[in-house]
Structure 1
Amino acid sequence: MESLRSGEVPGSAHLVSRAVQIDSPSFRAWLDVADTPRTVWTAPSEATVVGSGAAATLSADGPDRFTAIQETAETLFSSGDVHAGTEAACPRLFGGFAFHDRDEDGAPWDAFPGARFVLPRVQVTEAENGTWLTVNAVGPDADAESVEARLAAEQERIADLPDPGPVAEPPGVVSRTRTMSTADWRESVEAAVERIRAGDLQKVVLAQALRTELAREVSIPDLLARLADTYPDCYRFLVEPEGAEPRASFFGATPERLVKRRGRTVETGALAGTTGRGDTPTEDEWLAEELRDSEKNAHEHQLVADAIREQLAPLASSVRTGERSVRRLATVQHLFTPITATLSRDQHVLSLVEALHPTPAVGGLPPERALETIRDTEPFDRGWYAAPVGWFDAAGNGSFAVALRSAVARETSATLFAGVGIVADSDPDREWDEVQLKYRPILDELEA
């Protein structure tokens, strides 16, 4: 495996990739036997990918991490001997970035650098035109003959995967430890509201972390299978750094796309403003109507939509905003506005990621003052929480989500993250309740 940091790509980093169409295996069974680091990416209207191991790993730190990863990847992809058979099976780099541009070395993020992407050594891709097996190799010894031999061996291995049986029940939560008491939370929200009313801020997103101890080790394949059943329209992901002992798994089912780029077409959206789900269809619709009519939520949402359009404007020949709607998920409802753009010239998707991160939906406005408030207020490291996760290819196309509704699991512990947008008329108690609501997607898959 080639481990490549920015500026350290050897001239011998030759890429060889081969793919073949196969019968669709059990993705849960495949993930269960996959080598670390395991990779999962599944998103609405996109191919589902489960990767095993790493043919190459790219990493970077600091404020230039977006550019560093892009430049390193361009060097890697420039020497490719690729025969894929379909676009979805072509080599792609999967990974993400830290929320802040400084290093985060506290638990549970000690194994996660400022940016990290892997080219899976072996991956299974379920696309519209079938299921594909891809084998990648990088390095001076990479050659077509050995890759094709590995491809044949992996094809036999996958064909012989055992039936994984029924999806296991959640492991059970033994204890919970919060990073912030209700009193400290109230004080933080009130201080943020004072800054907003004084004109220092328009909005800031404050988050909490919840550490759970589990009755037994969590099965990531089973957990992701349960999330797929409950949140089929969300962006589900798994990122694992190699070399972490014990193995660390960052996973989630986020409703928020950051950006998707194909050619000069860009898709993104504003997702801000939240309420719960009702116990009956009537109550559900009443809550949705209350969300639509809420001045506080409408104001928070409009701040996000306006900022995204402003962030895209310097890069685009046109930016278009769709109609605002209510997006319903299993436990919450959000206000959502789709936003599309046409780029004025070719831009790598990572340039768009850098331009949009962090959106006001996870940071605030003005961005610099909001980030300063977050650093001063939150008693934990965000790490990769609320940061970009996704993939990109040799053409600079790619898809990224915002890593919300997420957690880091290690053996019999899991740390969950959730945040809320604070504006001038935010109520600390209601915001506390919203944070607890946003824990539910992951917490429900841990509690027995």
Structure 2
Amino acid sequence: METLHGDEAVGAASELPVSACSRRLEDFSPDVLQRIADAPTVVWRGPRESIAAAGATASVSADGPDRFETVRETATALFESLTGDVPRPARPRLFGGFAFHDGARSDTTWDGFPDAWFVLPRVQVTAHNGARWLTVTAETPDIATERLDDWQERLAGATDRERSGPPGIVDERRTPSREDWREQIEAALSDIRAARLRKVVLAQSLSVDLAGPVSIPDALARLDGTYPDCYRFAFTPGDEAGTFFGATPETLVSLTDRTVRTGALAGSTGRGDTRNEDEWLAEELLDSDKDNHEHDLVVEAIREQLDPVAERVTTGKRSIRKLATVQHLETPIRAALDGDRHVLELVEALHPTPAVGGLPPDAALETIKSTEAFDRGWYAAPVGWIDADGDGTFAVAIRSALARDRTATLFAGAGIVADSDPDREWDEVQLKYRPMLDELE
């Protein structure tokens, strides 16, 4: 494997020969590859396609404030060296993500997850529009052909097994405590009243000890059933790093040619026990001044971030996004770009949205850094993929957890605006833990 990082990344990537080839496959269980492959492994499942990938022909890592530019330039150089005729649905991609903050880590929770990490997998299985493709990359065409035959044989010979249930939780630790949370919210509200902030998103972490290790394939299979219209993801950069996985409803940006798809997802309430209660909660959310104000800030900021690079930006109708345990206000946003752009240019411009950061952005980030007593790592940061055209899709990694051995750390946050109530915001965070807690309890 070639690891590319730092100032020499672009030169090294442009000199790295990479060949790709692919083949249609018969039907098989989508989690077979993850069960039989060694790290690094990636799973990416969205409304339109499902991808599992493993191994590394090359990987890209970067640290610090220039990490978006470093990955973009290295990815471009790497794809320029790629040869092989592969159908578009099966095309090789770089998969990975970024840390929420750049710079030094405050603890060891996220060891093995750099500020930016992307992998060009040795083997990639893609399910798209009812067809399945096996794609491999290698240093030469001959090695690629041999690898393709080998992996087709391995996948055909692999058998699925009976799924296991959640491992069970034996202990848990919350950061912050409810009392400390109330103090944090009051401090943020003081800054909002003093006009130093308009909004800030403060998060919590929940560390749990498990009765046994988490089966990531089984957890993802359960998430597939409960959250089919979310992005389900799992990233395992190395054997000791653990796996960051989740089911996020929030698209940061998706770029195809010059068409951008994104949206605002902010403002939350629970689900009702009956249809009438559920609809009452939804109507209450639609009528909530506090939640609509929080949502307006996100829509406004995304439009402002896209305006400099777009011929036009259009905003769809605000509606309710219903998930298994929570409902959100959602507004779709589309843009037609004024020229060719790389998806990472848009990722850098949009991250963090006010839905996970705040406004003004710099003041909100400083508040988050000085307030939160844990390291966000990749939580609430961009995760996704890039292709050779510079297109790609990135989601915001919320509703997520980092699992390692018999421990897991869950993350969730709430947007604080002028009329936020600390107890209500605490309850909202607990709702947002549920998708991942259900896979562990």
TM-score range relative to shorter protein: over 0.9
Structure 2: 5+ residue stretches without partners = none
The answer to whether the 8 Å contact 2:410/2:436 transfers is yes
Aligned equivalent of 1:223, options 219, 222, 225:
219
Aligned equivalent of 2:154, options 152, 157, 171:
157
Aligned equivalent of 1:408, options 390, 402, 418:
402
Residue identity opposite 2:196 in structure 1: D
Residue 205 of structure 1: aligned partner:
201
- Name the stretch that deviates more: 333-342 or 11-20: 11-20
What is the SS of the residue equivalent to 1:169? coil
Distance in 2 (alpha carbons) for counterparts of 1:392 and 1:433: 36
Distance in 2 (alpha carbons) for counterparts of 1:116 and 1:312: 25
Shift of 1:145: 1.2
Aligned equivalent of 1:41, options 40, 44, 60:
44
Distance in 2 (alpha carbons) for counterparts of 1:129 and 1:18: 20
Residue identity opposite 1:99 in structure 2: F
Shift of 1:398: 0.2
Shift of 1:110: 1.4
Residue identity opposite 1:237 in structure 2: F
Which residues in structure 2 correspond to 1:326-337 (within 5 Å)?
Answer: 326-337=320-331
Distance in 2 (alpha carbons) for counterparts of 1:163 and 1:322: 43
Which residues in structure 2 correspond to 1:234-249 (within 5 Å)?
Answer: 234-242=230-238, 244-245=239-240, 247-249=241-243
Residue 435 of structure 2: aligned partner:
441
Residue 110 of structure 1: aligned partner:
111
Residue 278 of structure 2: aligned partner:
284
The answer to whether the 8 Å contact 1:204/1:365 transfers is yes
What is the SS of the residue equivalent to 1:83? coil
Residue 264 of structure 1: aligned partner:
258
Residue 19 of structure 2: aligned partner:
16
Distance in 1 (alpha carbons) for counterparts of 2:177 and 2:207: 13
Aligned equivalent of 1:144, options 141, 144, 150:
141
The answer to whether the 8 Å contact 2:96/2:235 transfers is yes
Residue 251 of structure 1: aligned partner:
245
What is the SS of the residue equivalent to 2:7? coil
The answer to whether the 8 Å contact 1:188/1:377 transfers is yes
Shift of 1:102: 1.5
Shift of 1:103: 2.9
Which residues in structure 2 correspond to 1:40-189 (within 5 Å)?
Answer: 40-45=43-48, 47-84=49-86, 86-104=87-105, 106-128=107-129, 130-137=131-138, 142-165=139-162, 167-189=163-185
Residue identity opposite 1:113 in structure 2: P
Residue identity opposite 2:149 in structure 1: A
What is the SS of the residue equivalent to 1:218? coil
Distance in 2 (alpha carbons) for counterparts of 1:34 and 1:196: 50
Q: How does the TM-score come out when normalised to structure 2? A: 0.98
The answer to whether the 8 Å contact 1:133/1:155 transfers is yes
Residue 3 of structure 1: aligned partner:
3
Structure 1: 5+ residue stretches without partners = none
Shift of 1:29: 2.4
The answer to whether the 8 Å contact 1:321/1:340 transfers is yes
The answer to whether the 8 Å contact 1:63/1:101 transfers is yes
Deviations 1:47-73 (A, max 9, x none): 211001111110001111000001111
Distance in 2 (alpha carbons) for counterparts of 1:19 and 1:188: 53
What is the SS of the residue equivalent to 1:185? helix
- How many residues align? The count is 438
Distance in 2 (alpha carbons) for counterparts of 1:202 and 1:146: 56
What is the SS of the residue equivalent to 1:18? strand
Residue identity opposite 1:303 in structure 2: L
Distance in 1 (alpha carbons) for counterparts of 2:113 and 2:81: 28
Deviations 1:79-115 (A, max 9, x none): 111221x212111000000101223262320111110
- Name the stretch that deviates more: 247-256 or 395-404: 247-256
Distance in 2 (alpha carbons) for counterparts of 1:212 and 1:164: 27
Distance in 2 (alpha carbons) for counterparts of 1:251 and 1:223: 9
The answer to whether the 8 Å contact 2:260/2:334 transfers is yes
The answer to whether the 8 Å contact 2:168/2:212 transfers is yes
Residue 369 of structure 2: aligned partner:
375
What is the SS of the residue equivalent to 1:134? strand
The answer to whether the 8 Å contact 2:244/2:402 transfers is yes
Residue 418 of structure 1: aligned partner:
412
What is the SS of the residue equivalent to 1:222? helix
Deviations 1:213-239 (A, max 9, x none): 000011000001011111001011111
The answer to whether the 8 Å contact 1:7/1:72 transfers is no
Question: Alignment RMSD, CA only?
Answer: 1.0
Q: How does the TM-score come out when normalised to structure 1? A: 0.96
Distance in 2 (alpha carbons) for counterparts of 1:395 and 1:32: 31
Runs of 4+ in 1 over 4 A off after TM superposition: none
Identity %: 60
Distance in 2 (alpha carbons) for counterparts of 1:252 and 1:163: 22
- Name the stretch that deviates more: 31-40 or 383-392: 31-40
Distance in 1 (alpha carbons) for counterparts of 2:245 and 2:111: 16
